[in-house]
Amino acid sequence: MSYYILADRFLLEDGEKKGGYLKVENGKFDDFIDTVPEGSEIEDWSGYTIAPGLFDTHIHGVNGYDIMDGTVEAVQAISASILEQGVTRFLPTTLTSSTSDIEQAIKAITEADEQALPGAQSEGIFLEGPYFTEKHKGAQNPDHFKTPDLKEFQEWQKIAKDSIVKIALAPEREHTMQFIKDVTGTGVQVSIAHTDASYDCCKQAVSEGANNYVHLFNGMSGLHHREPGVVGAALTDNNVYAELICDGHHVHPDIATLASEIKKEKLILITDCMRAGLMPDGEYQLGEFKVVMKDGIAKTEFGSLAGSTLQLINGVKNLQKWSGKPLYEIWHKGSLSPALSLGKDTRLGSISKGKVADYVVLDQSLDVHATAVEGTIKFKK
């Protein structure tokens, strides 16, 4: 199956292309051409912009559902809901909970993926916890924090049928360095999160294989000129990635812009969205905690930010507005940078010949009018 996309503008890795036709063949991007063969099928998006599909590597839930519900229905509903926000790929994300709850969530994600997801496609499971420390716990339940256990992780990976691609932990916990070395040796990415580790401890964790910092500035020790801490370790290492929640609440817009300038293509836009996303203000559940959302901001009863209600398309809009940078540059922090961080950039993340034809149709306000997965339009306004 092949067709051609006609649009006013295409967002490419190195800039923007004005006009022309982009060929899609067998679910993958092909070449740009100026004229199409007679009788060709054309998707006419004159007046619109075509951008690569967004990739949310850290999302717990949305629209009333959460991955920790532990049901196939929840995973499928999340997949469908985020498609309307331009997200074509995601990592279903767990959080710290009991062993049985984590295992049930893993089973549900695996089963839902095997049954075929209706919208955005899963690129593997992200375990956020339970190997954290209490000082920067955020909305993670410290009752379930523990030391990394390779045998436990291997059992989870067995349940997941080897689909766990990332795990977040606090590197200062005992035996963590060997754990990082062991799991990264199997191809699993390790992220640093909910931690009070020192700068040197973080650097050691990176030397053992960790390659990412979860929701930069949140859930970690801050920057000080004599003790750079976790934030300092993230900002001064050009070889590691850092996630950022650009909702204007988790990080001040000017600091978000500064982080973007420093990290460049190593900055990953995420949502950390929980079930209250796309829902009205009120009371919700995040894991074992009650959460109150007011004016779109979700907090636990003890005052901590509880994930976010951000949609990734809005994170892109925000950072582009705050930074004043070209749209294509900021957009790829939500598409290509996530793919690069997971070693999936040869398949995903940008409009390039041979890559999967995941794309988003945007109007002049950057609102999503259609989203395609592997060349098939799955959402259309």
* Residues labelled catalytic: 272
Q: Which amino acid is at 251?
A: V
Coil, strand or helix at 192: strand
Return the sign of the alpha-carbon dihedral for residues 61, 190, 176, 231. Answer: negative
- How far apart are alpha carbons 24 and 47 in whole angstroms? 19
- How far apart are alpha carbons 209 and 205 in whole angstroms? 7
Tokens read off for 195: 């931690």
Cβ–Cβ < 8 Å for 356, 348: yes
Cβ–Cβ < 8 Å for 89, 312: no
Tokens read off for 288: 């074992």
- How far apart are alpha carbons 266 and 184 in whole angstroms? 19
Closest Cα to residue 241, out of 15, 13, 57, 88?
57
